[in-house]
Each structure stands twice: as structure tokens, then as C-alpha cells.
Chain A
Amino acid sequence: MPNYRIHKTEYIDETKRVSFKYDGKTYFGYEGDTLASALLANGIHLVGRSFKYHRPRGIVSCGAEEPNAICQIGSKKDLTEPNVRATELELYEGLEASSQNCWPNVKFDIGGINNFISPLIPAGFYYKTFMWPKSFWKKVYEPLIRLSAGLGKSPTEPDPDIYDHKYVHYDVLVIGGGVSGIIAAKMAAKNNLKTLLVDDKKILGGSTIYQNNESIKIDDKLSSKWLKNEIQEIKKLSNLTIKTRTSIAAYHGYNFLLAKENLTDHLPEEKKKNKIRQRLWKIRAKKVVIATGSIERPLVFNNNDRPGILLSNSINKYLDYYGVTCGENIILFTNNDSAYETSISLHKKGIKNIIVDLRKSASSELIKQAESLGIKIYFNHVVTNTFGYRKINSLEIMKLSEDGNTTVGNKIRLSCDCLGMSGGWTPMVHMHTQSGGKLDFRDEDQVFLPKENSEDQISVGSCNGDFDLENIIDKTVNKINKFLDIDNQDYQDTNIICSKENDKRNIWLLPNKIPLGKTKCFIDFQNDSTAKDIKLALKEGFRSIEHVKRYTTTGMATDQGKLSNMHALGIIADTAGVKMGTLGTTTFRPPFTPLTFGTLVGRNVGKFFEVVRKTSMHEWHLENNAEFENVGQWKRPWYYPKNGENMHDAVQRESKAARDSAGILDASTLGKIDIQGTDASEFLNRVYTNAWSKLAIGKCRYGLMLNEDGMVYDDGVTTRISENHYLMTTTTGGAANVLSKLEDYLQTEWPELDVYLTSVTDHYSTASICGPNSKKILNKLFPNLDLSDENFPHMSFKEDKLKNINCRIMRISFTGELSYEINIESKYGHSLWKMCIEAGKEFNLTPYGTETMHLLRAEKGFIIVGQDTDGTMTPSDLQMDWIVSKKKYDFIGKRSLYRSDTIREDRKQLVGLLTDDPKEILEEGAQIVSDVKSKPIDMLGHVTSSYFSPNLNKSIALAVVRSGKTMKGQKLIIPMENKNINVTVSDTIFLDKENKRLNA
């Protein structure tokens, strides 16, 4: 097996060998490697196939910007993870990774054929071709595209890992632990500011930490050595927190930032167990220092995507940090000085290399050094083509014309096994722009730079466009002193020597003798878009960068165009003949690198996903086999199946028992609002449609609440407990919103009213007993209470004691039966319930759930707000005109009841429906029509509630139907998938129209 690890570094522990699997084959690396560095050490460049043309692709970079080395980690159904960048993944024992997007395998695949038919796949190809015929999309195109694209597989089972969230507050947050970030953090922390320094790598130091060129020195030391001392020093600072393996995902307004900390992703399987995998940090910082550095730009030339073509600086890092050379015969193609550092480093380790520099000439310390080492430099030359299928084996260069627009002279063919490219550096302005910052354009080296506009954040170092070390350190120190309003002298006498770059020349799309249409000059490696695509989009009339981006898909892959956006912009500007600075950039959206769902969700999974509210009687319901229904956050018994009953049978039994003898319902979840104050009656007058002033103490009244637009919002019974004290009940789901709405009116519209609202929903538990035998059961529970209709009539309230515990008893009914609601302090709710059940035994007192409750009230035509209403129903639409006071001058929503739209006669109105076949049960939500032959069919309304009534022995339904009020007796049709159901419009009250049962 080839070994490309050619020298020792302090970052690779060669005593700790690590075995891993890549595409099913076992390899070895060392602790300290990334998957990418370990693969390169094994001579592996080819790591995937490109998205559209399925061209072989290799590792390009060494960091977050990697477009090609994207892999799938693991193969377990619950733990596999797609889209992981091999350049960031730390190697661990037992790691299993595979390349993505290369079915059946990376070396031979069917999709490669796209490469030969590529003239047929231009920009917008998917939009243009797959539009026709329409029926082909679902059956032919989409499955084919999905099969050949295959950007990774999602896990199919729940994630077993643990994730965590943490909230923190700091005076200063420093993003990025390179040289400028370290200086900023030290200055802040030493001046008594509570500081957090985060860096996405395993160790601090950025690109300076492996810097070893003799021409770059600080205080007479190699810059890397100097920086190591600084790092040792800041680790001792007590008010500095350092978080490595932590990357900022998003920078929101008010200096609120999200960071992801990787805690176990670098550990072998057995050490990951029972530990938190990733933590989401929610950071509030008074001040933020952005020191995120810059990334190297590729160059755009024909066939610039072959395996073995990397960014020049990445070659340098693989060599000096990981001890791995990317080739043995390397060519560096550059437009700036930084490739010379790579060249010199390679040369010193005995790796043969030459430089192709597109600048006419250049001079600096670094260039002099390279020249004196005898490194061959081709100035004023460009690479025009590369060769080699699975890996580069040679390339062609040509001389540039005077104006740089074309090539001249003869082709020179050079052999190589690796090509490094450097098109200059792009400052990482993501954080700055995410925070709302604007950008300036610097023509000299064609970079977007942060425009300083805020007292709360600042950019320092190369993300601010300062590229040489002297500049970086001097400017960082000055800016941080000013930004933090401190006077730190630590770097006053620091002596920096570095090479200064004097010559610049940038060409976004390099010239070539071959017509552009016949070249493959890739801009976005991951989405396979080329310079030709950009030009085509412009030719077809796209102008805005946002449109060109979407049409060509440039910058829209998982790397979000970190390597491609600048080139796309540059080519658009050149082609359209406009200045690049005036074009603007596309939006930099969070997250900077992909986040796992687990990190975002944190601990809020499974039973912690949502708050669950249970009544005091919950345990009894569980013991008695209840099936539950979620109502808001509440768990409510839905029905109580007995002896293997299904839901229908259970509900039929419960409903019949409630009307034949007695039923009991846990009504604790109904919203309860305690209303007190001298203006309580006036307040109720204003919030309900009916009148309240005359309600006697000890009496109850049903109320309907509207929105200001006249639509029904909530309903419930309110009891007058004393002169200035009411207890309001609301729907279970509406309780919180009703309280908010009432508070809103009280605080903002009627602050003069003396009224106090308190939510007491959780304070009381409620057992509701109904049915002809309910009075007998009540009598057993409250033997001293006079239950006669004279003393305790329907819609009234009494207080009594149950074994010395106070109870509030309301005689109110939602079922149409004689019915009592017993309220008791919640801690006694369970005992109350058990006592009721015990007392009711001889009367077959049957517990019933929400489904039976819904059925019983539907028999009586009582509405459920939110089921029979949907925010577009007025009281009149519900045939409830009787509850709207004509006398009251004003109440919430009154004026809206006679708007031109609310008085229309053809509004949808609540009606009853009876099926012609009494056994046929309608589906809730089903559409209602009068004529199925006319096309399009005129929809008249829909079914809102539907049940089979055991008490009536027939199917009943409530529905909203256009002009329904006038349609009683009319035949309508419910068209279903396989049949049409005939129905007749009826009254909404199906049972006991005379309300005799209330006093049975």
C-alpha cells in the first residue's frame, strides 16, 4: 500500500494507529488525522462522483468549504449520517464511511455516461427538459434523477444519541481561534471582560499554527512557535472560556448566536456511549469579535475538477500539519504569493514541484526564497487543460496575452500527479452579513469586506481583508483596543517580520483557445455548474445574481457555494460589463455549516417533546383502560373500552348509559377564569354577546364570545359566586387565548375597569355527572343538600362540603340531561372521582370520554367551538341569534354583526343532516353538493360533526351549508369516492326539543 505520510508532525500521534473502513475497505491512519488526511496518506484522492455529470472527484480542501469529499457515516438504520465532510471528520477507531453519489461504486458507475452526453445538460436543463410530458415527471424523471443523484441516505429510525442545549451570557464572544482571534480574546479577558473563544477545529491556532517559513517571524521566533506560547498563556486566563470543536451556526440580531459543540463525534464507538453527542450553545454577547479568517479560491480553467487538484494551501496543511503529501510531482497554479509558501514547504521536504503564476512578474521575500531554492516558475502562464481520468496525470499551460484575454504561443505539456490552485483569498464575511452588516468591495484584490457599522461587532484578521501577518496583528490590536474601549499594551513591542505581497492579477474565467461551449470550467463542484452555464443564463436574460444562482444552481449545494459564489459573481460582472462591487452578493444564510436535527431539538424529544397536562383523575382513567385524546396539551379520556370493545361499541354503550341512567365525565380540563372586582358585571357585558348585569348571585349563564370581527371565538358557562365575583369557564383548547384576549382588553382598552383575572384551571378538578339518576347519586354524596328543583334549579350553583372539603356544585348541562358539575380543589380530585364512582355503582354510573360527550351534545345540537365553527361563523350563522342582546349598546364584535358581509343571507349556516339510510354515518369534513352532474360541482358546505346516535338509533350530523337556514327538508348529496350519499337538511336539535330531560 502506498504511503504518502512523509514526515512527522506534532499533531499526528504515530504511536496511536487507527483503523477505519472507507467504501468497505480497511485502512489505517493515526490519531490526529481527519478522514481526508488519512485517505490522502493512503494515496486516495477519488472520493465521489459529481452530481450532474458523474465525473470522478477528489478531495479539494481541508476544511468546511469542502465540496467533494462528502460521505455517509455508519450504516445503522438509526445512526447513519449523510453529507459529512471528510475534511472535518476526525478519524477514530472503527469509523465506517462511504462515498456518496456514486452508485454502484466510485470507480465505475452508470451515471458517468452523463459526462458524455453533457452537451445536452445545460443550465436550467431540469427545468426545460423534464417539464414535458407532464405525466412523465412523477413516473420517469423524478425516480431516475433521485436514483442517480443520491446525495446521501437519511436514517430511518429514531436517533439514539443525546443532545443538549445551553444558554450563556458573555461580555465578549470571539469567533475563530486563529492569530487574530487569540489576540482579541487575550486582550478582552485580561481587561476583566468575561470572554468566550470558539473555534471549529480540534486545536486553536488557525493556519498560523503550522506555519514554518523562515521569512515569517514574530519576536524572532517562527510565527507558529510564537502563537503556541500565546495559546499557553490564554489558557491560564480565568475569565476566558475556550471552546474548540465548536462552530457558530448562526448570528442573529441583538448579538444572539447559535453554536454547535461537537463532543463525541471524534471518539470511537464504545466511548461515545451515554455521552452528550453535540451541544447547541445559545450565546448572548455584549460584543462580538469576528475572526473567522478566509478561504482560498480555486481557479476556473478547463477540467479544473479532476481528482488530485486541490487548493494550494490545503496541500500545505496536509503536509505541515498532517505530514502527508498530496503527490510526488506537484504543480502549483497561482495568482498570488501564498502558493509560494506551499512550494517552499514541499521543496524542503523533498517534494518536486513547479509554479505556474498568471502574473506577468512578481517580487517579494517569498518569491525570492523560491527562486533561490531553484524552484521553476512560469510567470504569465495559465493552465489551459488537464488530463487523467481518475486522477490528474498531466496538464497543459500556455502564455497569457498582454491584456490577459487570450492565450498565445505554444502549449507546454507538463506531467504531474497533483495540482494545487490558488486564486487568492475570500474573507469569510458570513457572520458579519448574518448579523445585518453590509459589505464594501475592494477592487485591488476583488474581495468583499465588512463595512463597519455597529458598536456591537467587529471583524479582525483575514476575514477583514488583512492578509499579511504584520497587518493582521497591528490592526487587530488597534481595533480591539478601540472596540472594547481598553488600553492593552501587550503587543506594543511585538516585532513582526513577514513577506509582503506586491503584485496582484485576477482573472475569474481563465482564457482558452477551446471555445467555452466545449470546455468544462467548473465553478460549483458540488452542484456541477460551469462557467458555460453562467454565461448561458445571462444569454437567456437572467440578470440578478439571485436568479442566475437558482437557474444554474450555483452555490445551492450543501457547501452553500463557499468556493464558488465569488467566481459566479466575477463572471457575471465581466460578461455583463459591470463593476463587481455594484452587483452585490447573494444572501449568506445560516447555518454556516449543516447542523444535525438532533442539535436543534436538544433534549426535547420523546416524552420531553411537549408539555403534557394530566388531571388529578388521570391515574384512575389509566387503571380503567381509557384511551386518551390530546386536547391542547391535555390528555383527556377519549373512551373507556370494555372487554375488547372497539371505539364505536364503547361510545354506543357509554352514550346509552348516560341517557338511560347516569354517566360521569372528567371535565377538569375546561378553562376556568376567576373574575373579581366592582366592575366584573360590566366587564362580562362587554365581552359576551348577552346581558349579565341581571344575573342573580348563585346563578349560571351560558355565554358566547366573539372576536371584534363578529366571528364566534369561545363559549362557556359563567357563574356568579357573589356580587363582584364570577367564575368563567372556557373551552379546553381556548383557555389560554381567552385569558390573553381578556387581559388585552382590560389593560389596553378599558384600564378604568376594576376587574382582576386569574387563571384557576389547574386549581379545581371537575366531575360532571349526568343522566336521570344523577340526582340520586348527588344525594348520596351530599345528603344535607336540598336538591329540589325549587332550591337548586337548572343553571344555578351551590356550595357544600364533601367530608369537610368545600365543593362548588353547578347544575348545568352540556348533554341535555339533568346534570351536575362538582368542583373541588385539585388535590382532592382523585378522591372526589372515586367517591362519585362508588356512590354511582348501584345506578350503573358509567364513565364516558370526549367522544361520547361530543355525541351527546350533538344529539342536542350544541356546538363545539373549533369543530362546528372555524373562525368564519357569526352567532346568526349558528342559528344562535337568541343569545345576541339587542339592547346592549356595545360588546366585542357587535358592530361587525351588521357589516355588509356578515348580513349576507347566503353565508354558510349551521344545519342538521339526516342520511336517507339511517345506518349510513357521514364523514366529518365531507363536502356537500346539490347536483353532481354539473361541472364544476358547486360546493355548498361541509359536514362538521357526525355520529351514530344509539339513543335515536340513527345517524345524525351537523354541517355548515350555504343558505342552510332556508333549506330545511331539502335533499342534498354528499359525494364520496365510491358513492353518493343522499341526505336531508334537518333541524340542529335531534333529541328532546322541549328540554324535558333537564328536569327528569
Chain B
Amino acid sequence: MFLINCPFCGERDQSEFSSGGEAHIVRPKQPTELSDDEWAEYLFMRKNIKGIQFERWNHVHGCRKWFNVVRDTSNDKILSVYKMGEKPPVNYK
């Protein structure tokens, strides 16, 4: 079970959080301009990689804030956490 370092509250048990899937997927500004395929790309397609992955987490049983996590899915180590709107750390691309 992870220990997650909420950028607002500090280290807490994983049971306080919920995972929100892949990070940095931006909702299209003009959905009506998109083809079915382009919209489906936004709506359905998510990465599931072995290795370094950028994820959204919500401190749902705590401060209720959403934030981003860099996690190595091969060993579950969380390498970095950062707030929404902040750029992902460059050393993990």
C-alpha cells in the first residue's frame, strides 16, 4: 500500500486517496470542431505503461485536492508529486 505525499497535507496512507487515471489529458476547448475519431481519442484512449507514468490522484478523504503523481509502475515507487497546473518534472520524460 502506497504512502502518498499530498502536496497540501503531506504523507498519508493510500486508503485516503483515489486514483484518477492518466494525467495531462486536456479537455478539448472546442469539442464540436472534432471528428468522432478525435473526440474518441480524448474520451477513451489512455496509456497503461510499464515504467514511468504520470497520474492524477485525489486526496478524497483528506483535503479533496487533485494533484499529479509520477509513478514507476514497474516497482510502484512514487518519484514525484506536483500540483495541478504545474509542469511535470522534466527529468522523468
Contacts and interface: CB of A to CB of B under 8 A. Distances in A.
B92 interface: no
B32 to A, nearest CB: 6
B27 interface: yes
A916 B18 CA distance: 50
A899 B20 contact: no
Nearest to A898: B36
A425 B30 CA distance: 67
A748 B3 contact: no
Nearest to A740: B60
A749 to B, nearest CB: 5
Interface string B35-60: 01001100100000000000010101
A750 B60 CA distance: 19
Contacts of B64: 743
Nearest to A899: B36
A253 interface: yes
A436 B73 CA distance: 12
A543 interface: no
Given A747-B84, A894-B31, A900 B66 contact: no
Nearest to A258: B1
Contacts of B3: 254, 256, 284
Contacts, number: 52
A740 B58 contact: yes
A749 B2 CA distance: 26
Contacts of A349: none
A896 B66 CA distance: 25
Indicate the size class of the contact surface on chain A.
20 to 34
B34 interface: yes
Nearest to A745: B27
Interface in A873-907: 889-890, 894-896, 899-900
Contact of B31 (A252, A253, A895): A895
B2 A748 contact: no
B16 interface: no
A896 B32 CA distance: 9
B20 A253 contact: no
Given A254-B1, A748-B56, A899 B32 contact: no
A254 B66 contact: no
Contacts of A284: 3
B82 to A, nearest CB: 13
B43 A253 contact: no
A708 interface: yes
Nearest to B60: A740
B10 interface: no
A703 B28 CA distance: 24
A743 B66 contact: yes
B43 A889 contact: no
B23 to A, nearest CB: 9
B91 to A, nearest CB: 20
A744 interface: yes
A751 interface: yes
A256 B2 CA distance: 8
A890 B43 contact: no
Given A254-B3, A436-B76, A744-B58, 17 more contacts: A252-B1, A253-B76, A254-B1, A284-B3, A708-B27, A709-B43, A740-B18, A743-B58, A743-B66, A749-B26, A751-B85, A890-B30, A895-B28, A895-B34, A895-B39, A899-B36, A899-B40
Closest 5 CB pairs of A and B: A895-B31, A256-B1, A747-B66, A253-B76, A749-B27
17 contacts: A252-B1, A253-B2, A253-B76, A254-B1, A256-B3, A436-B75, A743-B58, A744-B20, A744-B58, A744-B66, A747-B66, A748-B84, A751-B85, A890-B32, A894-B31, A895-B34, A900-B36
